[in-house]
Structure 1
Amino acid sequence: MSEVCVPLYIGSQAFQRHDIIHNHSPEWVKMLLPNAVAMIDSTYVYVQKSWNFNNQKKSYCQHKADNLVKMMPIMLLDGKWFDIYGPYFSDGYNKDELIWNTLSDDKVEDYEKKDLFAHSQQLHAIFSKNYMFIGDRGFARCKGKWSLFTPDSICKGETQLSTVKANQTRCITRVRNAIERGFGRLKQWNVIGSVVNTDFIPVIGSIMRILCAVDNAYFSNLVLDNNDTLEHAQYTIRNIQLENEVVHMEANTTGWKKANTSDISSIITSYDENDVKQCNGEYSVRIAHAYLGHIQQEWSTYIHPDFPSTVKIKNIISRYKTTDNPKQHTVWIRFGHNKLDDIASYCTCKSGLRTAGGTCSHVTAALIALIHWKNNKKIPSFYTTASALFFNVLDCTTYKKSKMKQASEEYYGASSDTES
């Protein structure tokens, strides 16, 4: 199967340069990210511990705190797998950046194994120098033949991405989402979805290539190419250079007064959750529902007489903080006249200055909450099952806090006795 079937669906025999550009590159993706031809990322296959101590150390990943081997696939812009390389060890010498540098380097003398050079030769034969690949932040420092589109990170001393960086990052993540969904589809195969016996490590690479070939042959494309996606991309391009006005006006103004549901009902335009999904994407809506089920009862709404079409919502707690005093975000939403087509928003989160490609998940959560509050409806809990699955899991947090408090009181009590 590896020699007969697989080459028909993945690899340089299945995809030629002209074919990739004209048949596997959706127009809306080329509009958002010119010169991009494919996406790269690594995925993990968990394996049992090896009895060879050297291999055990090399296959231990500190990031995942487990033994695994890494695979490096390349996905075309329409969601088809071009090829998959590996397996690689998962220690510090086999980070995503170094693996890609190995694949993008064409110097023969730098390769100890012929397989590494063969993989590199295949890529250089298909992809020309002016092409660009799309990766995550792990590839930001890669140096090789090809340039990469990678999401921006916050610079030292900053708290937010600039509007331009936030918009560009949104374009990248919107396209790159396909490879993450592709990994999810591959992991549904039990052979790699669980811990793999070490006896199968010699054939993991072949198994992964077979699964990618089957995925290309029998499953639908992960990336749609239709009028709706093209119109959304055009709308994103029109807004990509816009400055965020809300941060300079509403967010920079004091005098906001606390409001109840009746006060904000007249401000909220008529829209439904499908409009929110169309504006921000399905994944953003799923994250938003998780926020709504998180700590919605602590949210507070505000209005301002100088901004009659804007609603301010405070105390949206970040999901990344687990401390007793977690970070809280505030959002401002300025409604227009045509559902969500002409809204403007600002959030204090990292991506809150975004003006293109939809809003951040905090604003999305606020939009969903507002339409339910306007209609006096209870916000449905989409993740009750996820919560219920942990109903019998014990938590020692309260015990630990009481002990820490007791120890602190004893310490300060002893200190005061000593001073007196």
Structure 2
Amino acid sequence: MSELYVPKHIGSQAFQRNNIIHKHSPTWVKLLLPNAVAMIDSTYIYIEKSWNFNNQKRRYCQHKADNLVKMMAIMLLDGKWFNMYGPYYSDGYNNDELIWNTLSDDNVEIHENKYLFAQRQQLHATFATNDMFIGDRGFSRCKGKWSLYTPDSICKGEKQLSTAKANQTRCITRVRNAIERGFGRLKQWKFIDSVVNTEFLPIISVIMKILCAVDNAYFSELVEDNDDALTNAKVIISNLQMENDVISLEANAIGWRKANTNDISTIIPSYDDNDIKKFCGEYSIRIAHAYLGHIQQQWTTYIHHDFPSTIKITNIVSRYKTTANPKKHIVWIRFGQNKHNDTASYCTCKSGLRTAGGTCSHVTAALIALKHWKNNEKIPSFYTTAAALFTNVLDCTAYKRTNKNRKISTDDDETIRNIENQTSSSDESENEESSNEESENEESTDEESTSDELTNDELTNEASEDNTNNEYAKKDQYDLRKRLRTV
């Protein structure tokens, strides 16, 4: 199969460059990303632990915390697999960026592996220099022969993508999701969905190529090229340069007041689920259904007298935060007269400034909730099966909180006791200090009286000594006069 069947369905023999551009590139994709020819990404295949320690260390992925090898895949824009390269080790020297640099760099002339050199030669022979590939953020710093379309990231110090970056990222993700769905379809095969025995490592590349060939031959295309997709792409292109003015008007205004269902029902126009799907996108609706489970966390609606067609909704809990005080988003929705054709919105999330390609899932969840509130309907429960699966899963959160509160109360009691002990000890020390001061005062008084007595005695002695000295001096003077007279 690898010699006869596989070359007919994947590889450079099955797909020539002209054939790729004209037959395997949907019109709407070329409209969004003009120079794109294919998508690239890697997938993981879990393997057993090896007794060779050197290989074991190189096959252990710290990102997935497991033993695995990586396969680099190239998919055409219509969802057909072009080829599968690998397997590669999964350590830090074999990330997506370095693998693609090895395959695409023109300056790499020497390869330790002849098979790797053959893969590179096949890739360079098929695609031209001006062709562009679509990748995820892991390929954003790649340097090689071909340029890449990659989603933008938030720069340091920023909280949101700009409108232009958010719109461009939406164009890329709208196309790139096909390769992720392709990996999901490949992993329906039990061989690569489970842990692979290390004995299959020498032929794992051949097996993956066979599976890709079977997928191309017998499965439906992952990307459809129809009029609806082309119409949606044209709408996205027309909105790429549109600025989001909701952030500069409604989002910066003060004076919003809380509103109930009766207050907002007159603002909300009539629309159905199909309108939401066209305006927001299918994937956004799936995420929004999960967000609607957070309504019990007190969503609050507001209205403003200066913006009669705008509704503000707060306390939309982010799904990425699991702390006791998670991040919450705020949504502003400005409704128009013609359902969603002239509706504008802004959200405080990372992609909240987007004006092309649908809204973020927070705005979508708000639109679904508002539709039910307008009609006085109860919001249905979504993903009830997913919630029911965790019914018997135990949770120690209550125990942890109880212990935490108990510890806090114990710490408070100890603090109070310490304060009381410090207060009593300070009182005792003050009493001791006062008694010591009194004794010191008494001692000082005795010392002063004693010193006074000593001073008087000393003065008396000094006076007597002075008198004696004076008498001796007078006697000496008398004797001297007497001797002079005799002479």
TM-score, length basis structure 2: 0.84
Deviations 1:192-240 (A, max 9, x none): 1111122222221111111111111111111111111111111111111
Rounded to whole Å, the distance in 1 between the matches of 2:128 and 2:412 is: 69
Q: Is the 8 A contact 1:16 1:126 kept in 2?
A: yes
SS at match of 1:41: strand
Inter-CA distance 348–108: structure 2 relative to 1 (3 Å threshold) = closer
Tell me what 1:269 maps to: 269
SS at match of 1:83: strand
In the TM superposition, residue 297 of structure 1 has moved relative to its aligned partner by 4.6
Deviations 1:272-329 (A, max 9, x none): 1122122222111100001012344511111111111111110000000000000000
Q: Is the 8 A contact 1:38 1:75 kept in 2?
A: yes
Rounded to whole Å, the distance in 1 between the matches of 2:296 and 2:21 is: 46
Question: Which segment drifts farther, 180-189 or 266-275?
Answer: 266-275
Rounded to whole Å, the distance in 2 between the matches of 1:110 and 1:362 is: 51
SS at match of 2:246: helix
Q: Is the 8 A contact 1:106 1:120 kept in 2?
A: no
Inter-CA distance 118–107: structure 2 relative to 1 (3 Å threshold) = farther
Correspondence list, 1:133-144, <5 A: 133-144=133-144
In the TM superposition, residue 410 of structure 1 has moved relative to its aligned partner by 3.4
Tell me what 1:376 maps to: 376
Correspondence list, 1:12-27, <5 A: 12-27=12-27
Query: What is the count of residue pairs matched by the alignment?
Result: 420
Rounded to whole Å, the distance in 2 between the matches of 1:281 and 1:48 is: 40
In the TM superposition, residue 411 of structure 1 has moved relative to its aligned partner by 3.9
Tell me what 1:105 maps to: 105
SS at match of 1:248: coil
Q: Structure 1: which 5+ runs fail to align?
A: none
Deviations 1:123-166 (A, max 9, x none): 11111111111111111111111111111111111100000001
Inter-CA distance 386–342: structure 2 relative to 1 (3 Å threshold) = same
Tell me what 1:8 maps to: 8
Tell me what 1:294 maps to: 294
SS at match of 2:38: strand
SS at match of 2:251: helix
Structure of higher RCO (CA pairs closer than 8 Å, 6+ residues apart):
1
Q: State whether structure 2 residue 37 is matched by structure 1 residue 37.
A: yes
Rounded to whole Å, the distance in 2 between the matches of 1:95 and 1:409 is: 50
Tell me what 1:239 maps to: 239
Q: Whose Rg is larger?
A: 2
Deviant stretches of 4+, over 4 Å: none
- Counterpart AA for 1:398: A
Percent identity over the alignment is 74
Tell me what 2:217 maps to: 217
Q: State whether structure 2 residue 349 is matched by structure 1 residue 349.
A: yes
In the TM superposition, residue 413 of structure 1 has moved relative to its aligned partner by 4.3
SS at match of 1:379: coil
SS at match of 1:310: strand
Question: Which segment drifts farther, 257-266 or 15-24?
Answer: 257-266
Rounded to whole Å, the distance in 1 between the matches of 2:343 and 2:331 is: 13
Inter-CA distance 207–410: structure 2 relative to 1 (3 Å threshold) = same
Rounded to whole Å, the distance in 2 between the matches of 1:280 and 1:217 is: 33
SS at match of 1:292: helix
Tell me what 2:79 maps to: 79
Q: Is the 8 A contact 1:74 1:81 kept in 2?
A: yes
Q: Is the 8 A contact 1:132 1:149 kept in 2?
A: yes
Rounded to whole Å, the distance in 2 between the matches of 1:305 and 1:193 is: 57
Q: Is the 8 A contact 1:134 1:172 kept in 2?
A: yes
In the TM superposition, residue 173 of structure 1 has moved relative to its aligned partner by 0.7
Q: Is the 8 A contact 2:268 2:374 kept in 1?
A: yes
In the TM superposition, residue 74 of structure 1 has moved relative to its aligned partner by 0.5
Rounded to whole Å, the distance in 2 between the matches of 1:270 and 1:2 is: 57
Deviations 1:49-93 (A, max 9, x none): 112112221111111111111111011111111111111111111
Rounded to whole Å, the distance in 2 between the matches of 1:108 and 1:316 is: 50
Q: Is the 8 A contact 2:41 2:73 kept in 1?
A: yes
Q: Is the 8 A contact 1:331 1:362 kept in 2?
A: yes
Q: Is the 8 A contact 1:296 1:316 kept in 2?
A: no
- Counterpart AA for 2:212: C
In the TM superposition, residue 373 of structure 1 has moved relative to its aligned partner by 1.2
SS at match of 1:250: coil
Rounded to whole Å, the distance in 2 between the matches of 1:124 and 1:412 is: 71
In the TM superposition, residue 108 of structure 1 has moved relative to its aligned partner by 4.8
SS at match of 1:382: coil
Tell me what 1:256 maps to: 256
- Counterpart AA for 1:236: I
Tell me what 1:283 maps to: 283
SS at match of 1:309: strand
Tell me what 1:186 maps to: 186
Tell me what 2:95 maps to: 95
Q: Is the 8 A contact 1:49 1:56 kept in 2?
A: yes
Inter-CA distance 101–409: structure 2 relative to 1 (3 Å threshold) = farther
Higher helix share: 2
Q: State whether structure 2 residue 385 is matched by structure 1 residue 404.
A: no
TM-score, length basis structure 1: 0.97
SS at match of 2:69: strand
Tell me what 2:462 maps to: none
Question: Which segment drifts farther, 341-350 or 113-122?
Answer: 113-122
Q: State whether structure 2 residue 130 is matched by structure 1 residue 130.
A: yes
Deviations 1:344-381 (A, max 9, x none): 00000000000111000100111111111111222222
Rounded to whole Å, the distance in 2 between the matches of 1:71 and 1:270 is: 49
Tell me what 1:320 maps to: 320
Rounded to whole Å, the distance in 2 between the matches of 1:115 and 1:315 is: 55
Tell me what 1:307 maps to: 307
Q: Is the 8 A contact 2:294 2:316 kept in 1?
A: no
Rounded to whole Å, the distance in 2 between the matches of 1:251 and 1:360 is: 16
Rounded to whole Å, the distance in 2 between the matches of 1:398 and 1:153 is: 38
Q: Structure 2: which 5+ runs fail to align?
A: 423-487
Q: CA RMSD in A?
A: 1.4
